[in-house]
Amino acid sequence: MIKLDEDKLSKLSTTNEMLDDKYGKHGTAERDEFDAKAMAWFYGDILRDRRKQLKITQKELAERIGKEQSYIARVEKGETDIQMSSFLRIAHALGIEFTPKVITL
């Protein structure tokens, strides 16, 4: 078994600490902008993976939802601020369905 050096481990930064240093703390304009871009990239990545899994092109997907291929490219790269209605339309065209969850208090 490998023995870890506790002194070295204690000096390592967490991911949040590194993000705080580079983009500012949560709630700052810079961090909010970074978080929004990261989420846009994340959702675009999910949609791109599903599209590729189905073996359809960006152009075919765009035609299914009435948009241009360049729009799909920007969504998949996380370069556009996608509206929820557009996200759901793309997801539906890719066979991704969302079901509501009932929360009782």
3-state helix/strand/coil string of the chain: CCCCCHHHHHHCCCHHHHHHHHHCCCCCHHHHHHHHHHHHHHHHHHHHHHHHHCCCCHHHHHHHHCCCHHHHHHHHHCCCCCCHHHHHHHHHHCCCCCCCCCCCC
Tens digits of residue pLDDT in 53-82: 999 999 999 999 999 999 999 999 999 888
Domain boundaries, the chain: 16-93
Q: At what angle do helices 69-77 and 58-65 cross, to 10 degrees?
A: 110
CATH code of 16-93, in short, is: 1.10.260.40
Tens digits of residue pLDDT in 28-51: 999 999 999 999 999 999 999 999
